[in-house]
Amino acid sequence: MDPARLAEIASRWRKETKTMTRLRKTALGLTALLGALMIHPAVADTIKVGVIGPFSGPFGLYGKNFKAGIEAWQDVNGKSVKGHDVEFIYRDLEGIDPAKAKTLAQELIVKDKVQYLAGAYFTPDAMAIATVVDQGKTPFVVMNAATSAITEKSPLVVRTSFTLWQNTVPAAKIALERGLKKMVIAVSDYGPGLDAEAAFRKTFEAGGGSIADAIRMPVKTTDFGPIMQRVKDTGADGVFAFLPSGPPTLGFVKAFIDNGLKESGKKLITTGDLTLEADLPALGDAGLGIISTYHYANSHDSAENKAFLAALKKTGLPENETVMTSVAAYDGARLIYRMIEATDGKQDPQKAVDAVKGYAWTSPRGPVSIDPKTRHIRQTIYERVVDKKDGVYFNKEGKAFPDQPDWGLAPSQ
Ligand code: PHB
Label residue 211 by pLDDT band (50, 70, 90): very high
Label residue 36 by pLDDT band (50, 70, 90): very low
Q: Is the CB of 326 under 6 A from ligand 1?
A: no
Nearest CA to 149 out of 113, 182, 195 is that of 195
Q: According to the model, what pLDDT value does residue 413 have? A: 65
Q: Are 62 and 325 in contact (CB under 8 A)?
A: yes
Label residue 11 by pLDDT band (50, 70, 90): low
Label residue 411 by pLDDT band (50, 70, 90): confident
From CA 324, how far away is CA 398, in angstroms rounded?
18
Atom of ligand 1 nearest to the CA of 124: 2
Label residue 132 by pLDDT band (50, 70, 90): very high
Which burial class, exposed, middle or buried, applies to 238 when counting CB atoms under 10 A from its CB (0-12, 13-18, 19+)? buried
Neighbours of 389 (CB within 10 A): 9
Atom of ligand 1 nearest to the CA of 121: 5
Q: Is the CB of 246 under 6 A from ligand 1?
A: no
From CA 126, how far away is CA 104, in angstroms rounded?
12
Examine the pLDDT at 29 and tell me if it is beyond 70: no
- pLDDT single digits (tens) 38-81: 444 434 499 999 999 999 999 999 999 999 999 999 999 999 99
Task: Give percent of the chain with pLDDT exceeding 70.
Answer: 89
Q: Is the CB of 244 under 6 A from ligand 1?
A: yes
- pLDDT single digits (tens) 187-204: 999 999 999 999 999 999
SS3 string, 207-248, reads CCCEEEEEEEECCCCCCCHHHHHHHHHHCCCEEEEECCCCHH
Examine the pLDDT at 295 and tell me if it is beyond 50: yes
**Closest residue CA from atom 8 of ligand 1:** 244
Q: How far is the CA of 10 from the centre of ligand 1 (A)?
A: 82
DSSP state of 142: E
Q: Is the CB of 122 under 6 A from ligand 1?
A: yes
Nearest CA to 55 out of 24, 95, 10 is that of 95
- pLDDT single digits (tens) 323-370: 999 999 999 999 999 999 999 999 999 999 999 999 999 999 999 999
SS3 (DSSP) at 123: helix
Which residue blocks in 303-395 are alpha helix, DSSP H? 303-314, 324-343, 349-354
From CA 167, how far away is CA 30, in angstroms rounded?
60
**Closest residue CA from atom 3 of ligand 1:** 145
Q: How far is the CA of 302 from the centre of ligand 1 (A)?
A: 26
Q: Is the CB of 339 under 6 A from ligand 1?
A: no
Nearest CA to 130 out of 110, 161, 106, 113 is that of 106
Q: How far is the CA of 124 from the centre of ligand 1 (A)?
A: 10
Label residue 7 by pLDDT band (50, 70, 90): low
Q: How far is the CA of 311 from the centre of ligand 1 (A)?
A: 25
Q: Is the CB of 195 under 6 A from ligand 1?
A: no
Q: How far is the CA of 5 from the centre of ligand 1 (A)?
A: 90
Q: Are 148 and 197 in contact (CB under 8 A)?
A: no
Q: According to the model, what pLDDT value does residue 254 have? A: 96
- pLDDT single digits (tens) 84-120: 999 999 999 999 999 999 999 999 999 999 999 999 9
pTM of the model: 0.89
Q: Is the CB of 323 under 6 A from ligand 1?
A: no
Q: According to the model, what pLDDT value does residue 410 have? A: 83
Q: Is the CB of 369 under 6 A from ligand 1?
A: no
Atom of ligand 1 nearest to the CA of 273: 10
Mean pLDDT, the chain, rounded, equals 92
Atom of ligand 1 nearest to the CA of 249: 10
